[in-house]
Amino acid sequence: MVKQRPGSRKDMTKLGTASKKAARRQAAKQANGLANRRTIVHPAMRGAWDHRKSPASNLASVGLTGSVNKISKSRDKIGRTIEIAPIPTSVPHNHVLQKLQDEANKPEREPNNVVHPGERRALEKMVKRYGDDWEKMARDIKLNYLQWTPRKLQRKVERMNAILEEKS
């Protein structure tokens, strides 16, 4: 008896060629064990991740939960108050959780206080011509070629003026 190769046409449904190709690729991935293998992008999680475990058990070993719905609630379906189990403090990979918390608590970077030179020239021309009439600025398609709305023009001019005052 000849062994069928993964992705053979024997058990395939009669569909279009694209579906057959997709089914062959899927069968080949499953045969190689590559169907559910994903790369772990975050460097803190990469070291603690075990590809032999399920994602839920990997997250539990780090001290996280895979589903927000599974977090214990303070009331049951009827509405009675129930006792919540304490959060386990001993986690095997506690350093990973600490790294993730440190990264989440890190202050955001400073805003970019630079106005693009082309944007600055266009805004200065519009302010020179129209003053602070934002509606007329928005309707001028030659100067306002990016079609900014009156409110957006007002915010951009205010931001540009604030940055210029800050620099001087």
pTM over 0.85: no
pLDDT (tens place) for every residue of the chain, 168 residues total: 556 666 666 655 555 678 788 888 887 777 665 555 667 778 888 888 888 888 888 888 887 877 777 666 666 777 777 776 666 666 676 778 788 888 888 888 777 788 899 999 999 999 999 999 999 999 999 999 999 999 999 999 999 999 989 887
Q: Which two tokens stand for residue 123?
A: 């805004």
Which tokens belong to 82?
């129930």
Nearest of 72, 48, 69, 52 to residue 60 by alpha carbon: 48
- What tokens were used for 51? 């590809």
Torsion angle, CA of 121/126/132/137, rounded to 10 degrees? -130
